[in-house]
A and B are shown apart, each in its own frame.
Chain A
Amino acid sequence: MLNVTNINVYYGNIHALHDMTFHVDDGEIVSLIGANGAGKSTTLKTISGLLRSHTGDIEFDGHSISRTEPDIIVRQGLTHVPEGRRIFLSMTVEENLDMGAFTIKEGKKKALDEVFDRFPRLAERRNQIAGTLSGGEQQMLAMGRALMIRPKMMMLDEPSMGLAPILVSQIMDIVVELNKAGTTILLVEQNARMALRISHRSYVIESGRIVLSDTSENLLNNEQVKKAYLGG
Chain B
Amino acid sequence: MSGNRRAYFKRTLLNTCLCLAFFVTVNYMIGARILNRYYTNILNLVLIYVVAAVSLNLTCGYLGQLPLGHAGFMSLGGYTAAIITTRFSIPDIGPIPGQAVLFFLATVAGGIVAMIAGVLIGLPALRLKGDYLAIITLAFGEIIRVLVQNIKITGGAMGMGGIGKYTNFSWGFFWTVMVVAFTFLLVNSRHGRAIKSVREDEIAAESVGINLTYYKIVAFAGAAFFAGVSGSLFAHHICYLEPGNFGYNMSIEMLVMVVLGGLGSISGSIIAATVLTIVPEVLQTFATWKMIIYSLLLVVVMIFKPSGLMGDFELSAARLIRKIFRRKEDVPQLPENYTEGEETDEQET
Binding site for B on A (CB under 8 A): 48, 50, 69-71, 73-75, 79-82, 86-92, 95, 98-100, 102-103, 127-128, 145-146, 149
User: Which of A69, A90, A102, A128 is the one whose CB lies under 8 Å from B208?
Assistant: A102
- Cα of A42 to Cα of B14 in the assembled complex, Å: 52
Chain B interface size, as a band, is 10 to 19
Q: Could you say which of A87, A95, A103, A127 contacts B204, with CB atoms under 8 Å apart?
A: A87
CB-based contact B209/A102 at 8 Å? yes
Q: Across the interface, which residues of A come within 8 angstroms of B194, CB to CB?
A: 99, 102
Given the interface pairs A95-B193, A98-B193, A102-B194, the reply to whether A90 lies near B200 with Cβ below 8 Å is: yes
Q: Considering only CB atoms, which chain B residue lies closest to A45 in the complex?
A: B203
Q: Does B197 contact A (CB under 8 A)?
A: yes
> Which A residues are in CB contact (< 8 Å) with B204?
82, 86-88
A71, A80, A88, A100: which contacts B200 (Cβ < 8 A)? A88
A82 close to B207 (CB less than 8 A): yes
Residue numbers in B under 8 Å from A98 (CB-CB): 193
Tell me whether B337 is interfacial, beta carbon within 8 Å: yes
In whole angstroms, what is the CA distance A69 to B335 when docked? Answer: 41
B92 in contact (CB, < 8 A): no
- B207:A81 contact, CB within 8 angstroms: yes
Could you give 8 example pairs across A and B, Cβ below 8 Å?
Answer: A48-B207, A70-B211, A71-B209, A79-B208, A88-B200, A88-B204, A103-B209, A146-B207
Identify the closest chain A residue to B204 (Cβ).
A86
Do residues B197 and A99 form an inter-chain contact, with CB atoms below 8 A? yes
Contact flag A145-B208 (CB < 8 Å), given A99-B193, A102-B190, A127-B337? yes
A71-B210, A87-B201 are known contacts; what are 6 more A-B pairs with Cβ within 8 Å? A70-B211, A73-B209, A79-B207, A99-B194, A102-B210, A127-B337
B9 shortest CB reach to chain A, Å: 23
Q: Which residues of B sit under 8 angstroms from A79, Cβ to Cβ?
A: 207-208
Chain A residues positioned under 8 Å from B201 (CB to CB): 86-89
Give the contacting residue for A149; candidates B200, B209, B335; CB below 8 A.
B209
Given A99-B197, A102-B194, A75 and B203 contact (CB-CB distance below 8 Å)? no
Closest residue of chain B to A101, judged by CB? B208
User: Which residue of chain B has its CB nearest to the CB of A155?
Assistant: B207
Closest Cβ of chain A to B202, distance in Å, is 9
Closest CB of chain B to A168's CB: distance in Å? 22
Query: Which 8 pairs across A and B sit closest by C-beta, in order of nearness?
Result: A74-B209, A127-B337, A86-B204, A103-B209, A71-B211, A71-B209, A88-B200, A80-B207
A48 and B208 CA atoms in complex are apart in Å by: 11
Interface status of B281 (Cβ within 8 A of chain A):
no
A99 to B201 Cα, complex, angstroms: 12
Instruction: Chain B residues near A99: list those with CB within 8 A.
Output: 193-194, 197, 205, 208, 210
Is B337 a contact of A92 with CB atoms below 8 Å?
Answer: yes
What residues of chain A lie closer than 8 Å to B207, measured between beta carbons? Answer: 48, 70, 74, 79-82, 86, 146
B:15-72 near A, CB below 8 Å: none
> Given A95-B193, A102-B194, is A70 in contact with B209 using a C-beta cutoff of 8 Å?
yes
- What total of A-B pairs shows CB separation below 8 Å? 65
Chain B 203-222, CB within 8 Å of chain A: the 1/0 string? Answer: 11111111100000000000
The complex places the Cα of A218 from the Cα of B335 at a distance, in Å, of 55
**Are the C-beta atoms of A91 and B200 separated by less than 8 Å?**
yes
Taking CB atoms, residues of chain B closer than 8 Å to A86 are: 201, 203-204, 207
Nearest Cβ on chain A to B160's Cβ, whole angstroms: 44
B337 lies within 8 A of A74 (CB)? no
- Once the chains are docked, how many angstroms separate the CA of A70 from the CA of B198? 14
A71 and B193 in contact, given A86-B201, A91-B200 (Cβ under 8 angstroms): no
Tell me how far the C-beta of B246 lies from the nearest C-beta in chain A, rounded to whole angstroms. 34
Residues in chain A near residue B208, CB distance under 8 A: 74, 79, 99-100, 102-103, 145-146
Q: Which single residue of chain B is at the shortest CB-CB distance from A75?
A: B209
> What's the minimum C-beta distance from B62 to chain A, rounded to whole angstroms?
13
Q: B305-343 vs A: 1/0 string, CB under 8 Å?
A: 000000000000000000000000000000101000000
In the complex, A81 Cα to B204 Cα: how many Å? 8
Of A71, A88, A128, A149, which contacts B206 at CB under 8 A? Answer: A71
A82 to B201, CA, bound (A): 11
Q: Which residues of B contact A81 (CB under 8 A)?
A: 207
Q: What is the distance, in angstroms, from B16's C-beta to the closest C-beta of chain A?
A: 28
Scoring B residues 181 to 200 as 1 if CB is less than 8 Å from chain A, else 0, what string do you get? 00000000010011001001
Q: What is the chain B residue whose CB lies nearest that of A105?
A: B190
Contacts of A50 in B (CB 8 A): 203, 206
Q: Find chain B residues with CB under 8 A from A87 CB.
A: 201, 204
Expressed in whole angstroms, the Cα–Cα distance for A86 and B211 within the complex equals 17
**List of B residues within 8 angstroms of A100 by Cβ:** 208
Q: How far is the CA of A128 from the CA of B84 in the complex (A)?
A: 53
Q: How far is the CB of B188 from chain A (nearest CB, A)?
A: 12
Alpha-carbon distance A71/B207, docked complex (angstroms): 7
A81 to B190, CA, bound (A): 22
Q: How far is the CA of A87 from the CA of B190 in the complex (A)?
A: 18
Would you give the shortest CB distance from A70 to chain B, in whole angstroms?
Answer: 5
